[in-house]
Chain A
Amino acid sequence: MTSMKTIENWALHAYVDGELDAADREAIEKLLASDAAARSAVDAYKRQNDALKQAFTDVLSEPVPASLVAVLKAPTRLRQRPWVSIAAALALVVLGGLGGWFTGRDPGGVRAEVIADNAIAAHEIFTAEVRHPVEVTASERDHLQAWLSKRVGVSFKVPDLTAEGYTLLGGRLLASSDQPAAQLMYEDANKRRITIFLTANPGKSETALRVEERGPLIACYWLDGPLGLVVAGEMDRDRMMKLARIIYDKFQA
């Protein structure tokens, strides 16, 4: 007789959740017929699913609040959520000591997040490229700077990060939502890559420095003056904050 011990517990979960193909399903059903422990586990999982679903079933049939429907009717626009202000207040406490980072109001919060999302996606796609990580290499630094400044619509200097241990590889032109963006890529002696992502900030709104962590990847981003910037790489939070601060200063100069 097959017993619970010979069948992995996950197979019972997968059975309840309809994840098994016909052959596996049949095998489990055979087991259930003879194994009371497996049967009671499966029953318990099913009852739990039912209880969860029943508890939250009403929300599916109740009318959707007008405020939510209104969002779909209104022209696309980003609102300020209360926690963004809370977060801004917290950021003030945390970053206040750094001076100059924080600008008080935070109207570009969600916009900055969208830029950060795009920058992180671009970082993941292009830092993985072995042969073509950049469009224009560092050997054409002046051209790179002139070209990307022109396309982004804001004149900027490609920062020199050699003192921080990073060599410029080059850069490329990308899109961030509806506007052009530039990605600059650098590499350290151990071939670890970081990127700086820049895009115009037409509203000139400003945000505090924000940090987004996605698994091993960490990104710092902010809107300041004519530019929105995102620095992304795999390193610990403190190092990233220091690096972001240095890059922030270079863009102030």
Chain B
Amino acid sequence: MDFKQQLAGELPHLRRFAWALIGDAALADDVVQDCIERALVKSHLYDPDRPLRAWLFAILRNVFISSLRRSGRSAVVKTVDELVGGEGSVAPAQEDRLSAAQVAEALNRLPHQHREVIVLVGIEEMSYRDVAEITGVPIGTVMSRLSRARSALRDILEERGHTVLRRVK
């Protein structure tokens, strides 16, 4: 299988990672597009002994962070006011399943460094080691960010009236 075919196979995961990381489906696909373009340009730097997905995630993360830095924004997030007053204030989930928009919105309220770790571990099931490589921090930092992200996310979702995450089995 050539590199482009392998890349094509990773597109669904790249889209999911980007969406969860960025919180906006359209912008996420733009970032994915940039990511694949860069991956093609830099394909000679890819070490086939390493998992392709982790390599691509690292590129995607860099594309996203550069875009934030360049546009001078700390994150593509709505302000808390917007969340409380406007379209952000969704009614509590009627069913157990939270919508992607609801979760994305909750994730968007986490600091970027916490959000990327919980998305990589909780959604993409990346190992701590891969997450450390993707985000360029030691494994210990990954673990402490993950722990803080999990409790913050639980607080946010509970505060919003979602019962799913604290329901006792």
Contacts and interface: CB of A to CB of B under 8 A. Distances in A.
B11 A64 contact: yes
Interface in A44-74: 44-45, 47-49, 51-56, 58-61, 64-65, 67-69, 71-72
Interface of B: 4, 7-8, 11-13, 15-16, 19-20, 25, 29-30, 32-34, 36-38, 40-42, 44, 66-67, 69-72, 97-100, 102-104, 118-119, 121-123, 125, 127-128, 136, 143-144, 146-147, 150, 153-154, 157, 164-169
Contacts of A113: 38, 66
B71 A56 contact: no
A114 interface: yes
A249 interface: no
Contact of B41 (A14, A65, A177): A177
A56 B41 contact: no
Given A17-B128, A83-B71, A87-B70, A58 B11 contact: no
A177 B44 CA distance: 8
A19 B128 contact: yes
- For chain A, give the interface size range: 35 or more
Given A83-B70, A114-B41, A54 B98 contact: yes
Contacts of B71: 83, 86-87, 90
B97 A72 contact: no
Nearest to B28: A59
Interface of A is mostly: helix
B165 to A, nearest CB: 6
A240 interface: no
Given A51-B164, A52-B123, A214-B136, A67 B70 contact: no
A47 B98 CA distance: 12
Interface of B is mostly: helix
B8 A72 contact: yes
Contacts of B4: 72
Contacts of B128: 14, 17, 19
Given A83-B71, A114-B38, A47 B165 contact: yes
A7 B7 CA distance: 41
A69 B8 CA distance: 7
A76 interface: yes
A59 B100 contact: yes
B22 to A, nearest CB: 12
B161 to A, nearest CB: 14
A79 B165 contact: no
A44 B127 contact: no
Contacts of B147: 9-10, 13
A117 to B, nearest CB: 7
B164 A47 contact: yes
Given A10-B147, A60-B16, A68-B32, A55 B42 contact: no
Given A13-B143, A55-B99, 9 more contacts: A19-B127, A44-B166, A53-B122, A56-B16, A68-B33, A72-B8, A83-B71, A110-B37, A177-B44
A55 B165 contact: no
Given A19-B128, A53-B123, A81 B12 contact: no
Contacts of B169: 43, 47
Contact of A68 (B36, B119, B166): B36
A79 B37 contact: yes
Nearest to B42: A114
A44 B165 contact: yes
B20 A67 contact: no
A83 B67 contact: yes
27 contacts: A13-B147, A44-B154, A47-B167, A48-B154, A51-B157, A51-B164, A52-B123, A54-B97, A56-B100, A56-B123, A58-B100, A59-B25, A60-B12, A64-B11, A65-B29, A68-B33, A71-B33, A71-B37, A72-B4, A78-B37, A78-B41, A83-B70, A83-B71, A87-B67, A90-B71, A113-B38, A117-B42
